[in-house]
Amino acid sequence: MNPGQQPVAVISGGSSGIGLACARQLQQRGYRVVLLARDEGRLRAARQNLADASSPAAEIHALDVTDAAACEAAIAAVLARHGRIDWLVTSAGIVEPGLFTDLDLAAHRVQIETNYFGTLHLLRAVVPAMRAAGAGRLTLVASAAAFTGVVGYSAYGPSKFAVRALAETLFSELAPFGIAVSVACPPDTDTPQLAYESTRRPEATRLIAQSGGMLSAEAVAASMIRQAEAGRFLLVPSRLMALFGLFHSLSAPFFLRRQRRLLRRLQAQVRLRSKRR
């Protein structure tokens, strides 16, 4: 790769939310950005959103990250055009909340396929090129739900646990090849995905989420990119989240007990309402 060329960043889930905000951060740092997402119309809108006379227009590729062949083809096209990929951000993901007894198998499968395998497909396509170049950066977007089990996330949580575990493994395996790996674990973030999810959360999940607050996609992305550039592995947007990330094995039992108490209280309220009818 010619070190004088403009660096290239590929962002999945790049048409909105954290992915689009990361694209803006990287564009401002001089990267040529390539956006991947399913909906071509939203990709075009995102490209227009990023339009800047001082930067080349963002490139777009419409694909479903659950399709391994489509991911290979898109990455091959980027490499053929630019000869390099310097940064991959895997931000594509979905959430279908629901209590375990209410979710069907399809909801579990689609979240694993999108959140975990969608990440894996892009990594497998990009890593060989980075390894050959002896440099590169991979930023995997997991979730605060990747630290401990959360009521209502029996399908989503495991998919993000898997992303975090993959990042931890690659952090060690790819370091000898000059590839820096990091994992982002943001809390609730103001995105179209959260707007969709919030209307479908069980009551217990909604109450648990209230205590965590909500951040803007721009704030999360700025924190992610800044911390990744500083060489951090765990990318979190606040000191509280950093502490939780470091000590989640110790704090998880207390959090789990708190959730059980909340569920017992909600169940008692349901029984009381039933008796009054």
Q: What are the C-alpha distances in Å from 43 to residues 176, 205, 234?
A: 35, 31, 28
Q: Which of 270, 140, 111, 128 is nearest to 202 (CA)?
A: 270
4 close to 83: Cβ distance less than 8 angstroms: no
Residue 105 identity: L
* Residue 170 CA to its chain's centroid (Å): 16
Q: Which of 191, 185, 184 is nearest to 225 (CA)?
A: 184
Catalytic residues: 156
Task: Kindly state the DSSP code that residue 153 receives in the 8-state scheme.
Answer: B
Name the 3-class secondary structure at 210.
Answer: helix
Residues facing 10 on adjacent strands: 34, 88
